[in-house]
Chain A
Amino acid sequence: MSEPVVTALLALLVLLAAVAVAAADLLVAAIALGAYGFVLALIWAAIGAVDVAFTEAVVGAGATTVFFLAALLRTSRRRSPVPGPLRWGALAVALATGGALLAVAAALPPWGDPTAPAATHVSPRYLEGAVAETATPNAVTAVLADYRSYDTLVETLVIFTAGLGGWLLLGRPR
């Protein structure tokens, strides 16, 4: 996809984030976050990260929205007022983090740069070897579940442990 399309999608992303923060009705905020996830998935797909786009679409736009809606059903749709000092503190943290990210973003290699460290370190080894060594043409799958299988094993354990923790914290249904 062309660069103007990605720019337009990024602008839509900022708009949806603002709606999610500003909405007085939390149902509106939850739906805006779901739309945010979907637009983010489109951006991933547009810049060629199709596996990430797939995950973002099913988790960010799908599963998290359902979880938010289920949580709203058991609590309240109304936003509880945030004390003034906490609001300003949160704004300061958000501005500092965003500013720091923007400041270092200029130092990143341009998108798709073949001489970037990420493209020259171990990536060529995996891209050249995946088909011959693992008979798996999708190099992302070969890296995730074979070359970097330790990471995925512990990641699966993390998902299960996080689910177990949430299950214990939420308590028995009444």
Chain B
Amino acid sequence: MIERHDSVVVTTFVRVVTPLAQLFALYVLAHGHWSPGGGFQAGVILGATWILLGLALGREALRRLDERRLLAAGAAGVLLYLATGLAGLATGTRFLDYAVLPLGPTPAWARHYGILVVETGVTVTVAATLVLLFLRLADGEPRP
């Protein structure tokens, strides 16, 4: 079981920095079209914010992130990616062709937003997998 940290400096700092880091993760996801970043990096940052919360405030702070939900979220990210690909196959003729999807005014912009949809799937899977592994690793009794 991860214990809550004793120092008020640590807990307060983590409380302040977590929402900012999560906002930054969303920025990295959405701005990956223009600057370095994208779904994978955003997922790791998002996962890291929950790991930080767990380390500073204890397992209790993450009680809503139980393993069933994390597994479901991890699978949901992959399925979102797969569904976008299959939608291209069903609407047009090619798997993972976003240009035929009704996502933007032109085929190029449909591909632009198609990228955002699949990158969101990557973010959800990466963040959920990271937190899942961390909880399994850290949430046991330390060996005497």
Interface residues of A (CB under 8 A from B): 50-51, 53-55, 58-59, 62-63, 66-67, 70-71, 73-76, 132-138, 140-142, 144-146, 149-150, 152-153, 156-157, 159-160, 162-164, 166-167, 170-171, 173-174
Contact = CB atoms under 8 A, between A and B. Distances in A.
Given A141-B32, A145-B119, A153-B82, A74 B143 contact: yes
Given A133-B108, A146-B115, A173-B140, A50 B133 contact: no
B6 interface: no
Interface residues of B, number: 58
Interface string B102-144: 0010111101101100110110011011101111111111110
B58 interface: no
Nearest to B73: A160
A61 to B, nearest CB: 11
Contacts of B135: 173
B143 to A, nearest CB: 6
Contacts of A59: 44
Contacts of B130: 63, 163
17 contacts: A53-B36, A58-B48, A67-B133, A70-B137, A133-B107, A133-B108, A134-B108, A135-B108, A135-B109, A142-B115, A146-B111, A156-B77, A156-B121, A160-B74, A160-B77, A167-B132, A173-B139
Nearest to B140: A173
B30 to A, nearest CB: 11
Nearest to A145: B115
Name which of A67, A71, A75 has the most chain B CB atoms within 10 A of its CB.
Answer: A67
B87 interface: no
B33 interface: yes
A174 B33 contact: no
